[in-house]
Amino acid sequence: MAAAPSSATTPLNPSELSVQMEDLLDAQQVSAKHFEVQTERETEMINAMKTALGQKSQAHCQLDRHQASQILRLMSNGSTAVESNPDSLDSRKLWFDCMMLLDRIQALAPVLLVATSLTTTCIALYSLLRKSNGYNCARCLDPVATLAILERDHLREGDATHLTEFVDEEQFRELLYKREIEIFHAVEGRVISTPSPATWLHMFVWRCNIISRGTLLEPLRLVHELSTADLTALVVKQHIDQKFTPRRIANTCFLVSMIKLGLLPLDILRPDHMCESEWKGLCARLESWTGAVNLKSGLSESHRCQLVQIVEASTCCCLRQLQDDAVVSVPQAHASSTM
């Protein structure tokens, strides 16, 4: 069983953190002020996507998320297997950033995601993001090698069509360069300014570790591992939009992982206003998404209350907001798990 928060750790919330603690959080770029900046960037991105889409659009139908995620997995980790997740922090973050950038392109320039352009676009945006942010991804494949593996697997499945518009290696590299420019212009040069769900999760975990003074180090390692797996499955199936925002799904996966580990009880997710039938429906969807869930916490009542305060302080959200985010996100997670 995961260790309980130390009794020496006083109850915490964002408004009561000491000046010294805020300075430490700020130095690690996980202060409340840093969260506000990241939230503004996220809101700006979502609004830009919403404006570009205008009325209900068919753009989302043009993106094969499963194929895109396979291409990005291959470039990140040398394998297209669904169970193969990038093995380094930089590789994982780059994979999530790429999937989110695909959503932005889907809204702003969907023509780049039609069937014959998808492979080139995925490889180009991966290359663009990697260069823009200086990611250290030791196992990242060369674009031509990536394409050769994808073409080989494509033909092995009996599909004789080419995955891209290219004819030879030189033309392909030229096309990649042009595609990078097209992507850069489509997103108005902002390829790395918006936090992905994985970025939010990393900030929650790092902030939680500092606020709890290291007393939750091992449980947080497990929370991060479980949350990352849930986020990966969600991002493959569900596009980011004004309802399904990066921070909202990170909030949900962070809290649900605490429940899955028995740190918090299941009913922590239930808002006060939720009726019994709605609660049963939410529980059923949660179980379908995550499997068996501990109904009760293994912690004492005082430690549970303390942990809730630490979670609130770590996410800069009150429990009510975390509950509301889960009500929205868990049904989405359930839907994606059955697709």
Residues 144-156 have pLDDT tens digits of 777 777 766 654 4
At 166 the three-state DSSP class reads coil
Q: Is 190 helix (H, G, I), strand (E, B) or coil?
A: coil
Q: What is the pLDDT of residue 125?
A: 86
Based on DSSP, count helices (H) and strands (E) in the chain, helices before strands: 13, 0
90 vs 146: CA distance, rounded Å = 19
Q: What is the pLDDT of residue 293?
A: 63
Q: Which tokens is 312 given?
A: 């609130």
- Provide the sign of the torsion angle of the four alpha carbons 243, 276, 233, 219, taken in this order: positive
- CB-facing half-sphere around the CA of 36: CA atoms within 13 A: 5
Q: Please, are residues 228 and 199 in contact by the beta-carbon 8 Å criterion? A: no
Cβ burial of 153 (10 Å; 0-12, 13-18, 19+) is: middle
Q: Can you give the pLDDT at residue 7?
A: 38
pLDDT of res. 295: 67
pLDDT given at position 79: 52
Q: Are 262 and 298 in contact (CB under 8 A)?
A: yes
d(CA 288, CA 125): 34
Residue numbers in the chain where pLDDT is lower than 70? 1-17, 54-62, 77-89, 115-116, 133-141, 151-167, 191-193, 292-295, 331-339
Distance CA 257, CA 222 (A): 8
Least Cα distance to 104 among 218, 220, 177, 182 occurs for 182
Taking the C-alpha atoms of residue 193 and residue 196, their distance in angstroms, rounded to an integer, is 10
